[in-house]
């Protein structure tokens, strides 16, 4: 990974690894979110507002919303560049946007995210401190213009799975990592959709904390039966029915599996 801050935009390079692939030899959606998370954390550290900088103040970041729109998932060994920057700010929310580019700088994906600062003891949001508000000047604008309106819930759920939060699913705040939430939500996508379609758009609303040992019910159902096919998802804590996350995903017909670039071609 090669980080190159320039013009207020943070840039990281990633090469797609074998352990990040799905069965179409493409980067998994959750692994793409891992790239976004890593670049956001690296840029926050460079700006002096990372999680480890906030913890001594009794504060931390939590992700409230995420929207990722995908033109194409990169293949094994392909190199991609993630660009990220603080894009807007309000009293409670700091927005961060992303672009994911291939080696020729074609746009593979665009994303926008909304973050809150919470008090570690009270576990409640607090107004953004001045030292965070001050870094959101001279923004390059939005990569994906989203007002983060409320996500819909399906009238009928067609698939449900029960999964358990493991140690490996926890983040620095000791709760369910947002990428792991995405992965859990996508576990409830029917096999017939995964076999014939590709994810082209994903919206996530994070609503409550999941903790180690929680049994999580992942449910999905159709939001639309027209093209493009849209699913709604919820993640519910089994013991009390608390909604941990809500998702909306869009699935477009997948073409044939493209040839995987050789190591020489992708270098």
Which residues in the chain are classed under CATH 3.10.129.10?
A: 1-149, 150-267
Task: List pLDDT tens digits, range 44-102.
Answer: 999 999 999 999 999 999 999 999 999 999 999 999 999 999 999 888 999 999 999 99
- What dotted CATH number matches 150-267? 3.10.129.10
Q: What is the DSSP letter of 143?
A: S
Percent of the chain beyond pLDDT 70?
A: 93
Task: List pLDDT tens digits, range 176-222.
Answer: 999 999 999 999 999 999 999 999 999 999 999 999 999 999 999 99
* Nearest-angstrom CA–CA distance, 130 and 103: 38
Q: What's the topology of domain 1-149? A: Thiol Ester Dehydrase; Chain A (3.10.129)
pLDDT at 104: 96
Model confidence, pTM:
0.92
Mean pLDDT score across all residues of the chain: 92
Return the closest-CA partner of residue 86 out of 13, 138, 130. Answer: 138
CA dihedral 215, 124, 182, 68 (to 10 degrees): 170
Q: Which residue has the higher pLDDT, 140 or 220?
A: 220
* Nearest-angstrom CA–CA distance, 189 and 219: 8
């Amino acid at each position: 990974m090669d980080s190159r801050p320039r013009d207020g935009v943070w840039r990281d390079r990633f090469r797609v690894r074998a352990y990040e692939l799905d069965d179409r030899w493409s980067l998994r959606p959750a692994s793409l979110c891992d790239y976004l998370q890593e670049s956001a954390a690296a840029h926050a550290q460079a700006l002096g507002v990372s999680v480890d900088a906030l913890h001594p103040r009794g504060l931390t970041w939590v992700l409230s919303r995420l929207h990722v729109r995908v033109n194409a998932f990169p293949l094994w060994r392909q190199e991609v560049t993630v660009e990220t920057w603080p894009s807007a700010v309000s009293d409670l929310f700091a927005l961060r946007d992303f672009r994911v580019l291939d080696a020729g700088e074609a746009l593979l994906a665009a994303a926008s995210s909304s973050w809150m600062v919470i008090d570690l003891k009270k576990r409640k949001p607090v107004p953004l401190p001045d030292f965070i508000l001050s870094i959101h000047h001279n923004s390059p604008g939005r990569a994906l213009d989203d007002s983060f309106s409320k996500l819909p819930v399906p009238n009928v759920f067609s698939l449900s799975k029960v999964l358990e939060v493991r140690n490996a699913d926890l983040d620095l705040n000791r709760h369910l990592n947002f990428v792991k939430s995405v992965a859990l939500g996508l576990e409830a996508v029917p096999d017939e959709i995964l076999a014939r379609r590709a994810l082209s758009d994903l919206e996530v609303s994070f609503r409550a904390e999941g903790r180690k040992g929680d049994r999580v019910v992942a449910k999905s159902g159709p939001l639309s039966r027209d093209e493009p096919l849209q699913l709604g998802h919820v993640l519910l804590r089994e013991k009390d029915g608390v909604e941990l996350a809500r998702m909306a995903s869009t699935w477009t017909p997948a073409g044939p599996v493209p040839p995987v670039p050789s190591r020489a071609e992708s270098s």
